[in-house]
Amino acid sequence: MTEHTLTVAGVAVDPRHWIGGERVASAGTFTDVSPIDGRALGEIARGTPAEAAAAVAAAKAAFPAWAATPRAERARILHAIADGVEKRLEELAIVETTDNGALLRSHRRGVMPRVAHNFRFFADWSLTLDHEDFETRGHTNHVSWDPAGPCVLITPWNAPLMLATWKIAPALAAGNTVVLKPAEWSPLTASLLADIAAEAGLPAGVLNVVQGYGSEIGDALTSHPDVRRISFTGSVPTARRIAASAAPHLTPLSLELGGKSPLLVFADADLDLAVDLAVEQYDNAGQVCLAATRILVEETVAEEFTRRFVAKAGALVQGDPREEATDIGPTIHPRQLDRIDGFVRRAVEAGARVVIGGHRVDERSYAPTLLTEVAQDSEIVQEEVFGPVLTLQTFADEDEAVRLADDTRFGLAATLVTGDRERADRVTGRLTAGTVWVNCFFVRDLKAPFGGSRHSGVGREGGTWSFDFYCDLKNTVTAPKGWNDHG
């Protein structure tokens, strides 16, 4: 414990930046507040362009040695980081729940184990990177994945550590160094990860963490000429600013920008399954980029679907996310709660009917909401709310279902529920989405490509796709002659 250390849910957390293997303070701070009860958790170092530049400089200085480290040794250190995550899993879970309000049971059973898995998977996958050599008129082609350089990773608040390590792990496994900028509404587990990485033997400067507001340090990071990759998860407007900032240096970008995903329910579907999947969209208080917030139901079963949905959703328990029985916790921040409420109020004013919810539960939470009688071109159908708000529309046939599903500017994911395999094949082939789930939801494999189409993003990560992004691919062509062999 030091004079700088915060105690959060009984866990010591250092609120300073982590730059070049050392804790670094800033002249200013910002207050981190728990969404559970509005209590101030402590003052966090508020980064400036000076700290951002220092972090990039540290990453640049550490890059040559880390890039030259054999893949197997890099993998060994990443596995040691995963060991550290598993050792401190309970601490990470309670700190993140306190910091962002997501369910403690989910952090314990799913999210934090996935954090460790991120490191193990990409460590092991890096050892498999290989492309069979091939011949061109007697010349040999050899493909290699070369480390790109310092990477800036900018991550959101809804699943802070899991989404950060989804980027950090492949970047490090590829031989790059990293500057992580966590969301200012949920910065704490990023600081704990820096400690874990250092204890695992990650060299100084390979991972750096700079906290603060994107409006104050974002440009200093994304416009820096020494940054070789930028990966961002967040909103479309912020992505546009990042792209403009990165453009002068042509810095490659990977952007995951959320969506307005549909859930299509056909009359031949298992309605109980369809209802279960629809109610699941309230997970994490609706603060999930992949959530299928637009429910599209074939009109012949819409009434029965709605009846079952209302009954199922009515059994959800809303409350303290630290309690085992709680299904829906608080919204991350009062500003986000106001935003959600504004969307619903404007929708109702425009003619939408509230089936359930439609109101604040208290100053921290919003009731699970379902709206019907919404126009396809309305704000509530077209724009991402990022809260526990779903809309329900009906369709007459397959063509109309696809038309409604694809009629937004997004294309991150889609979910389809049907008992007809041929229909599933037809419809999934017509949908615009980076991921389509059929009779299931949120089944994710790190080997699979992940990303969105249209305004849902640029690029894909996962498996080899991650290394294609975080590396410079090189093809070496060697002639069969010209060697001075003295064997």
When pLDDT is cut at 50, 70 and 90, the band that residue 481 belongs to is confident
Q: What radius of gyration, in Å, describes the C-alpha atoms of the chain?
A: 24
Residue-wise pLDDT tens digits, 70-90: 999 999 999 999 999 999 999
Reply yes or no on whether 289 is catalytic: yes
| pLDDT exceeds cutoff 70 at 486 | no
Contact 47, 56 (CB under 8 A): no
Condensed to tens digits (0 to 9), the pLDDT of residues 207-229 reads 999 999 999 999 999 999 999 99
- Give the closest residue to 473 by CA, choosing from 86, 143, 214, 45: 143
pLDDT-based confidence at residue 482 (cuts at 50, 70, 90): confident
Q: So what's the pLDDT on residue 47?
A: 97
Question: What's the rounded Cα separation, in Å, for the pair 66 and 73?
Answer: 10
Note the pLDDT of residue 193.
Answer: 98
Q: Is the pLDDT of residue 343 over 90?
A: yes
Q: Which of 51, 91, 96, 256 is catalytic?
A: 256
- Cα–Cα distance, 423 to 267 (Å, whole number): 12
Question: What are 137-187's pLDDT values in tens digits?
Answer: 999 999 999 999 999 999 999 999 999 999 999 999 999 999 999 999 999
Please pick, among 51, 91, 289, 384, the residue that the annotation labels catalytic.
289
In this predicted structure, what is the pLDDT of residue 139? Answer: 96
Across the range 110-131, mean pLDDT stands at 97
User: What confidence score (pLDDT) does residue 483 get?
Assistant: 80
pLDDT at 392 over 60: yes
| Mode of pairing for the β-strands spanning 435-438 and 134-136 | unpaired
Q: DSSP letter at 293?
A: -
Torsions phi, psi of 298, nearest 5? -60, 135
- Nearest alpha carbon to residue 103 among 281, 313, 360, 318: 318
Query: Which residue ranges form the domains of the chain, and what is each CATH number?
Result: 6-257+454-475 (3.40.605.10), 262-438 (3.40.309.10)
Helix (H, G, I), strand (E, B) or coil at 196: helix
Q: Tell me the pLDDT band of 484, cut-offs 50, 70 and 90.
A: confident
- Percent of the chain clearing pLDDT 70 (strictly above): 99
What's residue 327's pLDDT?
97
Q: How sure is the predictor about 263, in pLDDT bands with cuts at 50, 70 and 90?
A: very high
463-468: average pLDDT: 96
Tens of pLDDT along 45-58? 999 999 999 999 99
The pLDDT confidence band at residue 358, using thresholds 50, 70 and 90, is very high
Q: What is the pLDDT of residue 3?
A: 66
Res. 401: pLDDT tops 60: yes
Helix/strand/coil for 179: strand
- How high is the pLDDT of residue 4? 77
pLDDT band, residue 1 (cuts 50/70/90): very low
At 365 the pLDDT is 97
Sign of CA dihedral 182, 158, 456, 414: positive
